[in-house]
Amino acid sequence: MAKKPTVASDWLCGCAGCHMSLLDMDERLVEIIQHVDLTATPITDLKQPPAAGVDVGVLEGAVNNSSNEEVAKRMRERCRVLVAMGDCAVFGGIPTMRNRGCKQAALRRAYVESESTVDGRVPDDPELAVMQEARPLDQVVEVDVYLPGCPPPADAIYLALKELAQGRMPELKGKDLDWH
């Protein structure tokens, strides 16, 4: 029996909706899962980082901080093919909207001026202090396959994963990425 290809996934900065779209594929996801070994993913109990030698890595979300950079670089090092899934990973999506505004003013509004504030001060968190600009995945690591959309259509996710599981690079056309 031939060795099954391995697949790992993770998410960075974003809403995790693209990972939830994997679950929207219903029986088709079960079909793919029967033909691969899922080694790491945040949507199951397999939350550890992937080991080296993973065939396909799927990353969702923009790169938002040093922790995101580490995850992206680790996935790139350990995965033969890296997929950027969703608008946040492909071009920065919603997380990059904050790049345009004054970070300190946004933190003040969220933590000091908001009615939901507990103690009326910006938390002393090193990640908030540096709050890097959000960036698309390919500004940090090389990406092999792009699946745009917020989230990408389930059919496009299915087609890409099916092709990758069979050792082929997917050739997605515009019609594959349109909502039907």
In a domain, 57, yes or no: yes
Q: Which residue, among 48, 53, 76, 64, has the nearest Cα to 3 in the 3D structure?
A: 53
Mean local confidence (pLDDT), 85-111: 78
pLDDT digits (tens, 9 = 90+) for 2-35: 688 999 988 888 777 777 776 666 677 777 778 8
18: in domain: yes
Q: Tell me, yes or no, whether 87 lies in a domain.
A: yes
Please determine, for residue 138, whether its predicted confidence score (pLDDT) is greater than 70.
yes
Q: Which domain holds residue 18?
A: 6-95+133-171
Residue 7 sits at φ, ψ, to 5 deg, of -130, 135
CATH number for the domain that contains residue 14 = 3.40.50.700
Q: How many domains does the chain have?
A: 1
Question: Does this model's pTM top 0.85?
Answer: no
Nearest of 139, 122, 19 to residue 76 by alpha carbon: 139
Judge whether 106 lies within some domain: no
Confirm whether 30 is domain-assigned. yes
